[in-house]
Amino acid sequence: MQIFQYVEELKTFYETRTIPLQSGDDFSAYQLIKSVNYARRSRYIDSNAFDDIIGEYPYDNISEYRIRLEARSTDRDIKHMEVEPVDSSDEARVSAMVATKALQRKMRLMKFGKTLNEYSVVRPRYGASLFERVETEDGKDVYIVPWENVITDMTDILSSPIVQKYYYTPSQLKKQSTWANVDLAITTARERKKSKDIGNKANAEADTVGSYIEVFNVVGEIERSKLLEAQGKEWDEKDMNEFVLARIIYAPNGKDKAGKCQGIVFRADELTEDEYPYKLDVRHPVIGRAIGEGLPEELSEHQRWHNFYKTEEARAVAIGGKILFYTDDGNVVDSIYADGIDHGTIMQVGEGRTFQQLNTVPTSVPVYQNITEAWDQSADKKASSFSAVMGEESKSGTPFRAQYLQNVAGTSQFEQELEDMGLFLEELVSDWILEDALNEAASANEIDEVFTKEELDLIDRTIINREMIKRGADSLMNGQLVTPEVQAVMEKDINTDLKRKGARRKITDIQEFIKKAGKKVVVHTTDEQRSKAILFESYSNAINLAKGIDRTDPVQLALRDKVLDMIGVSEQELMLYVNEAMQAASTQAPTGGNVRVDNTQLNQEQNLAANV
């Protein structure tokens, strides 16, 4: 069958061939991924990395902890993703908040936070991350594809067919209810394994690992003839010149006597553009190839020289660590250890002869250590892995602000990475997750979530307005007119009932809100809440700004609003906290007797709120 031979040719080219780059290098994605995985395990690809003096050469991995550092500095969470309102109206803002809660609930059910954690590690390790959208029993899920399990075009991954390898146990394969020929594949795999394990020799090797069955999933634009043949349909020469987006899933079954590839087809479907299941994010793109540069590749030269000097240092220590003696007395035996000389033994030599230990301490070791340190400093500059960023303890007496500024300067390199990742996640979540989340929320007809104070204020205003319109209409239907006094009482009662619910709100008739929700997801690339140093620094500056503001100067007022907006503090949110603090202070004042409540603190808070 054409598809079997086609995939075999792709596999052979991918694993054995290279493509030329403009820099003059030859690139192989297969070899790059293999070398990264070897480096992760602190191993050399070269099988000759040993000698008789030190045995296997040392491999001191300098990129793995830097990968973890970048992952920690660029990790995003589902709370950073919000639905953007279509306009600035209260109704649109509430709709966006409801949609955001629905989206975040969907991502929690998907365990999308775990996928984001993996994304922050895979991206700097391999230089790219390949996401796949998968149909599951509970709906659609999103995963990161292991680079070891794919065969791709090394120049342009998404424009060419992607071959992904899966490994199923017979029981897992049996659960694929929409696949054909499953029993045949299980039986064939069992017979093949049995024929390879003849004699049950201890060192015998089988084509399958345990009871796993290898399955190939081919997705991309291919000749229509390949798809029709996989579907068991007739095709002609014309179909060989037409291309369709398709998915073909099959289990390879070796080669026949004529050398032709065989297999068992499970599914063969034509796909629409919306059904294409892959998205690719590239870190530090390189012209001419599909995968960008990861940290192990960027630090490959540093790693090579780091290991070289570690090896030379180990060799020098191995040679210099030998205990040697020299003598000019020919009567002394060749080796004082031959007869098991004990400690304290007195060696006698002839008159005028010498016998003493030879100094073998290598003088090159400190030089090697200095050079290694210089390469590490160069790697720190390239990967922004300075001690302040790594979380190492500062020297005694270092001011807090100095530590804060060092941390800001050290992590500034990751801001671009955050922005690039945020733009990619906005596209991924908008295209793959948001619509499903809104549809599921609409079908539930209500949402019960925890909201912030600012969100509660906005939601409550919208709920009160909708409820007042409903009650007013009911009163008119009954021939009654709602007076302003009655309306005020009704609004107060509704507001009191809402406040009793705390930070939770159950929003019904959610379909109406969903219809007005936006379709664009925004990923916040800054996160002051997770960095207490940045948070406290921002608030401290805001307090100092509020104390010195001149309320009569429009320029200062404009700058104040701009600063507060940049640090994420709105006027509505600030007033909510101020009012709450004033109410708490008044209710906690002592009662009884002739105790007088001192309103000095309340007046200060009111003045501060007025200034801000």
Residues in the chain: 612
According to the per-residue pLDDT averaged within each range, which of 276-285, 350-359, 508-517, 534-543 is highest?
276-285
Which residues, including other chains, have CB under 8 Å from residue 344's CB and lie 6 or more apart?
none
Tell me, what's the pLDDT at 55?
84
State pLDDT tens for residues 376-430: 777 777 766 666 555 555 555 555 455 555 555 455 677 888 889 999 999 999 9
Which residues, including other chains, have CB under 8 Å from residue 333's CB and lie 6 or more apart?
339
pLDDT at 602 over 50: no
State pLDDT tens for residues 494-511: 777 766 666 566 666 566
C-alpha–C-alpha distance, residues 372 and 307, integer Å = 9
Backbone angles phi, psi at 119, to 5 degrees: -60, -40
Comparing 526 with 213, the larger pLDDT belongs to 213
State pLDDT tens for residues 41-92: 989 888 788 888 888 888 989 899 889 989 988 888 888 888 888 877 777 7
Which residues, including other chains, have CB under 8 Å from residue 168's CB and lie 6 or more apart?
176, 212, 213, 215
Q: What's the pLDDT band for 297 if we cut at 50, 70, 90?
A: very high
H-run or E-run covering 382:
helix 365-383
**Strand pairing partners for 132?**
143, 278
Tell me, what's the pLDDT at 355?
76
Comparing 27 with 609, the larger pLDDT belongs to 27
Joined tokens for residue 184: 């045949």
Which residues, including other chains, have CB under 8 Å from residue 75's CB and lie 6 or more apart?
116, 117, 120
State pLDDT tens for residues 574-584: 665 666 666 66
Which residues, including other chains, have CB under 8 Å from residue 583's CB and lie 6 or more apart?
none
C-alpha–C-alpha distance, residues 374 and 366, integer Å = 12
Determine contact, residues 77/418, Cβ cutoff 8 Å: no
State pLDDT tens for residues 179-222: 999 999 999 888 877 665 544 555 554 444 457 899 999 999 99
- DSSP class of 160: S
Among 535, 543, 537, residue whose Cα is nearest residue 604: 543
Percent of the chain with pLDDT over 90: 31
State pLDDT tens for residues 96-115: 888 888 898 899 989 999 99
C-alpha–C-alpha distance, residues 486 and 496, integer Å = 15
Residue 181 region by backbone torsions, left for phi larger than 0, else alpha for psi between -120 and 50, else beta: left
Q: Where are the alpha helices (DSSP H) in 152-280?
A: 170-174, 182-196, 224-230
Tell me, what's the pLDDT at 120?
94
Tell me, what's the pLDDT at 193?
72
pLDDT at 432 over 90: yes
What is the mean pLDDT of the segment spanning 435-450?
75
Comparing 13 with 363, the larger pLDDT belongs to 13
Q: What's the pLDDT band for 445 if we cut at 50, 70, 90?
A: low
Comparing 157 with 177, the larger pLDDT belongs to 157
Tell me, what's the pLDDT at 557?
73
C-alpha–C-alpha distance, residues 36 and 64, integer Å = 10
Average pLDDT for the chain: 79
CB under 8 A, 24+ apart: contacts of 135-143:
138/109, 139/436, 139/440, 140/432, 140/436, 141/110, 142/110, 142/112, 142/115, 142/428, 142/432, 142/433, 143/115
pLDDT at 459 over 80: no
State pLDDT tens for residues 321-350: 777 777 887 777 666 665 656 766 677 778
Q: What's the pLDDT band for 223 if we cut at 50, 70, 90?
A: very high
Joined tokens for residue 118: 């993996």
